[in-house]
Every structure is written in structure tokens, then in C-alpha cells.
């Protein structure tokens, strides 16, 4: 990432205030949402990287980016915010998340849906991507983060 301050992944739909361990909006863990402003750039970058890896995993199972430059140009023309340093598959997610109701030909944006998803409408695909991204984030939390919190809470030495 650049030397610019790393902004928050928040999308304004925080569910951690309602007790979720993983935010349904940005997919960060509750403690990352709470402590974000206290994180240094390296810690913020680690969170961004995890989110990117999980999102790319979901996106590559649904579509292919065949023209990165066209996708970037379309995002810029339509003033859809995206992180240029991230994978073009994250850009494709931003496109679908923001334009699902108005896009009719995804190929015009430099992406093509994989055969098993070509009959899906984009709002339906967007919702499926969001659910899968959330489930992966939640599984990551349960596998790697929750056990540590449990140990810390019990003061157990392993």
C-alpha cells in the first residue's frame, strides 16, 4: 500500500453494535472495528489484506476479469470508489455492489461471469457474494481468533 493513511473498510452498515462478532457490512472482526483508530498502518494493512484475500477467493469462483484496464476505466467514469492497489477482483466487487441494478452487459466492464452464474441477475449475485464473503470472514474468526480470546479469558497457558 502507499504511504497515505490507510482509511477504514467501513461501509456504513455496522452490525457489531448489535453484538455480531463479524461485521455484516465491512466483514471486520468486532475488536478491529472498535480498535481501528488505535491501529498503526501495519495493523490496518494486515486487516485490509485479509479482507482482500477472502473477497478475491469469493470473486474468482464467480467471474473472471478479462480486461483490467476497461474495468478501471469504467469505475473511474462512473465515479465508483475502489482501491487501485487491490486486486481487480475487488474492483469487480465494487462495480457489482454499486451497479448491480443498472448493469446489463458485464462484458462491457471487462468482466465475464463464469458459466454457472451467467443466468443469475446481478442483484442476486451481489447478495450471494456478500453472504459468502461474510461466511468466510466468520469462519476465519472462529478458526483463528475466537480460540485465542477464549484462552486469554481463561488465563490458560498452552
> Along the 158 residues of the chain, how does pLDDT read in single tens digits?
344 455 889 888 888 777 889 999 999 999 999 999 999 999 999 999 999 999 999 999 999 999 999 999 999 999 998 999 999 999 999 999 999 999 999 999 999 999 999 999 999 999 999 999 999 999 999 988 887 766 665 554 54
- Contacts (Cβ under 8 Å, ≥6 apart) of 26: 8, 9, 10, 11, 13, 14, 33, 51
Split into its structural domains, the chain has a count of 1
Rounded to a whole number, what is the distance in angstroms from the first to the last CA of the chain? 35
Does some domain include residue 31? yes
Domain that holds residue 101: 16-149
Does some domain include residue 137? yes
Euclidean distance between CA atoms 30 and 51, whole angstroms: 14
| Helix (H) or strand (E) run with residue 100 in it | none
Does some domain include residue 98? yes
Does some domain include residue 3? no
DSSP 60-85: HTTEEE--HHHHHHHHHHTT----TT
Amino acid at each position: 500500500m502507499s504511504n497515505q493513511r490507510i482509511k477504514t473498510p467501513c461501509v456504513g452498515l455496522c452490525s457489531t453494535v448489535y453484538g455480531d462478532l463479524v461485521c455484516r457490512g465491512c466483514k471486520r472482526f468486532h475488536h478491529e472495528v472498535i480498535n481501528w483508530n488505535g491501529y498503526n498502518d501495519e495493523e490496518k494493512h494486515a486487516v485490509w489484506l485479509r479482507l482482500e484475500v477472502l473477497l478475491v477467493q469469493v470473486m474468482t469462483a464467480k467471474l473472471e476479469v478479462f480486461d483490467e484496464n476497461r474495468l478501471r476505466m469504467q469505475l473511474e467514469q462512473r465515479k465508483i470508489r475502489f482501491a487501485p492497489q487491490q486486486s481487480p477482483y475487488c474492483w469487480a466487487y465494487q462495480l457489482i455492489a454499486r451497479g448491480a441494478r443498472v448493469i446489463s452487459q458485464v462484458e462491457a466492464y471487462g468482466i465475464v461471469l463464469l458459466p454457472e452464474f451467467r443466468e443469475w441477475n446481478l442483484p442476486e449475485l451481489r447478495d450471494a457474494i456478500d453472504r459468502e464473503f461474510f461466511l468466510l470472514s466468520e469462519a476465519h474468526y472462529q478458526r483463528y481468533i475466537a480460540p485465542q480470546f477464549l484462552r486469554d479469558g481463561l488465563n490458560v497457558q498452552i
